[in-house]
Amino acid sequence: MLQRFLATAIALAAGSAQAQSPTATHWPTKTVRIVVPFAAGSFTDIAARALGKELAQQTGQSFVIDNRTGAGGTIANDLVAKATDNHTLLFTDGSFSVSSALYKKLPYVPARDLLALAQVGESPAVLVARTGLPAKDLKAVVALARQDPSALSFGSGGQGSSGHLAVAEWLQQAGVEMVHVPYKGVAAAMADVMGQRIDISIGSVGSTQALIKDGRVQALAHSGTQRHPLMPQVPTFSEAGFPNYKVTYWFGLMVPASMPAEMRNAVRSQVQQASNARGLGEIFERSGVSLTFLDTASFTERIAGEVVAWQRLIDKMGIKPE
């Protein structure tokens, strides 16, 4: 199954790449709907609105945001996978890879029905702990967990969520265990870290920087390749002794695989132009997200690799969706 996913996804991207010759195709010709799998106010939503604004200025057409929450993003994914108007796009994040690996039965086939058109941004994952935790760095946390696997707890946005798997991946590398406490969303988990009710959680730079600055949580490490300008005091996982921890949060655009190749190329060209806009960059940077453009082939290969890695972790740990 994993090999089929990888082969199908990369073959689809390769087909798109081969069709990238110059074209006179004009897009859009009417209002564009950008479907977002998360509620208004989330960074994915904010980023989608910012991108839509830039695209509207470039093209002279309207771009509207359609928030379709629920089922780990699969409701939104399915809606876009089955869209046939060539003006319905999906703006999503790394949870797409997680849901593709976690759910055995979906109303769409991720690698067949949706094309990863372009990544536009990326943020490190930040591991945080309650301020009252005696362990103040990763090595001390690992030592504490090794003494007693039930001594520490970590919270996530739900069973099988991106946060659950992100922490589970680090625990696998560290060779220790913690008690997982699933919540109805990341915000609830962070609230209990601040309230000293659980020990650890994980989030993006944007969702954690204010909490760290205000002393409501303590930062243990982030997954960037170097110190982050918004939290220069926080070490990277590599500095803290875990050079193989590479989990990051990406943000990108997907389209129905049925969209004609020449039209996909027109969309990608518009998105790449928008990703260079100063206004979009400022919005991303304030939330700790770097504007990191990946074309269709590179973005598809990234997602396919993530699905394979998450599937292995899910199977190894016996993780089931809620």
Total-model pTM: 0.89
Q: CA 49, CA 246: separation in Å to the nearest integer?
A: 28
The per-residue b/e assignment along 55-91, b for 16 or more CB within 10 angstroms, e otherwise, is bbeebeeebebbbbeebbbbebbbbbbebeebbbbbb
- pLDDT at site 271: 96
Sequence-distant (6+) residues with CB within 8 A of 197 are none
Q: Bigger pLDDT: 17 or 248?
A: 248
Beta bridge partners of 36: 67
- pLDDT at site 72: 85
pLDDT digits (tens, 9 = 90+) for 293-312: 999 999 999 999 999 999 99
Average confidence score pLDDT of the chain: 92
Give the pLDDT band of residue 71 (cuts 50, 70, 90): confident
- Average pLDDT rounded to a whole number, residues 307-320: 95
Give the pLDDT band of residue 256 (cuts 50, 70, 90): very high
pLDDT digits (tens, 9 = 90+) for 173-190: 999 999 999 999 899 999
Residue 186 near residue 44, CB atoms below 8 Å? no
- Average pLDDT rounded to a whole number, residues 49-78: 95
- Average pLDDT rounded to a whole number, residues 151-160: 96
pLDDT digits (tens, 9 = 90+) for 83-113: 999 999 999 999 999 999 999 899 999 999 9
The sign one gets for the Cα dihedral 87, 254, 222, 278 is negative
Question: Distance between alpha carbon 15 and the CA centroid of its chain, in Å?
Answer: 25
The sign one gets for the Cα dihedral 78, 79, 83, 89 is negative
In order of start, what are the domains of the chain with their CATH numbers? 2-123+249-317 (3.40.190.150), 124-222 (3.40.190.10)
Q: CA 122, CA 184: separation in Å to the nearest integer?
A: 24
- Res 25 pLDDT > 90: no
Residue 197 near residue 129, CB atoms below 8 Å? no
- Res 292 pLDDT > 70: yes
The neighbour count for residue 36, using CB atoms within 10 Å, is 26
- Average pLDDT rounded to a whole number, residues 38-48: 93
Give the pLDDT band of residue 7 (cuts 50, 70, 90): low
- pLDDT at site 20: 47
Q: Bigger pLDDT: 322 or 280?
A: 280
Q: CA 159, CA 321: separation in Å to the nearest integer?
A: 6
The first and second tokens of residue 90, run together, are: 């999906």
